[in-house]
């Protein structure tokens, strides 16, 4: 079962975990990304490419289910404006055993960083700056092969 959501609403961790736990797995792995208050960031704005974003995340989740025996994969990404400390992304994977769930979860968040059309803009008071892509993110995505 794949669940993808891209929306401005806050991410409800309890509801998302309960939903994926209901799939009969032996283990759930999850990753939650929060907005960091880097160098005085007061607000983060997330832009995305409607349509392509959902398609790219679905394709990513499908590639994880082909690579590992998963009973469920969830990717939730928030868009719009958010503040430091708020959840921006949530990934969860369900499998019979921990290793598959943990590896698939790491794969999904590493690949999401470089393989889905999102752009971050940081606001510091009145100033706004687009975040530059990191070479280390390409390396993290690349460690999972082609």
Partner 1 sequence: MDVLYFAWVRERVGAGHEHVDPPAGITTVADLIGWLAGRSSGHAAAFAEPERLRAAIDQKFVPLDAPLGRAREVALFPPVTGG
Contact (CB, 8 A) for 40 and 124? yes
What CA–CA distance (Å, rounded) separates 43 from 35? Answer: 9
Nearer to partner 1, 7 or 133 (CB): 133
Look up residue 70 and give its two tokens: 């998963």
Structure-token match 């799939």, residue found: 23
Q: How far is the CB of 84 from partner 1 (least distance, A)?
A: 16
Nearer to partner 1, 41 or 88 (CB): 88
Q: How far is the CB of 26 from partner 1 (least distance, A)?
A: 27
Under DSSP, the state recorded for 132 is P
Under DSSP, the state recorded for 113 is H
Nearer to partner 1, 96 or 140 (CB): 140
Nearer to partner 1, 56 or 71 (CB): 56
What CA–CA distance (Å, rounded) separates 123 from 60? Answer: 30
Task: By CB under 8 A, name the binding residues for partner 1.
Answer: 33, 46-49, 51-52, 55-56, 77, 88-89, 109, 112-121, 130-133, 137
Q: How far is the CB of 6 from partner 1 (least distance, A)?
A: 10
Q: How far is the CB of 122 from partner 1 (least distance, A)?
A: 10
CB contact set of 107 (below 8 Å; sequence gap of 6+):
64, 67, 68, 144
């Amino acid at each position: 079962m794949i669940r993808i959501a891209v929306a401005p609403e806050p991410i409800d961790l309890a509801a998302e975990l309960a939903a994926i736990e209901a799939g009969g797995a032996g283990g759930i792995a999850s990753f939650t990304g929060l907005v960091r208050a880097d160098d005085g960031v007061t607000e983060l704005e997330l832009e995305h490419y409607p349509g392509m974003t959902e398609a790219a995340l679905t394709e990513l989740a499908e590639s994880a289910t082909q690579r590992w025996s998963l009973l469920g994969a969830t990717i939730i990404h928030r868009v719009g404006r958010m503040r430091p400390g708020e959840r921006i992304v949530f990934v969860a994977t369900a499998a019979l055993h921990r290793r598959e769930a943990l590896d698939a979860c790491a794969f999904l968040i590493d690949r999401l960083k470089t393989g889905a059309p999102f752009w971050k803009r940081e606001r510091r008071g009145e100033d706004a700056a687009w975040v530059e892509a990191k070479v280390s993110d390409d390396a993290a995505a690349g460690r999972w092969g082609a």
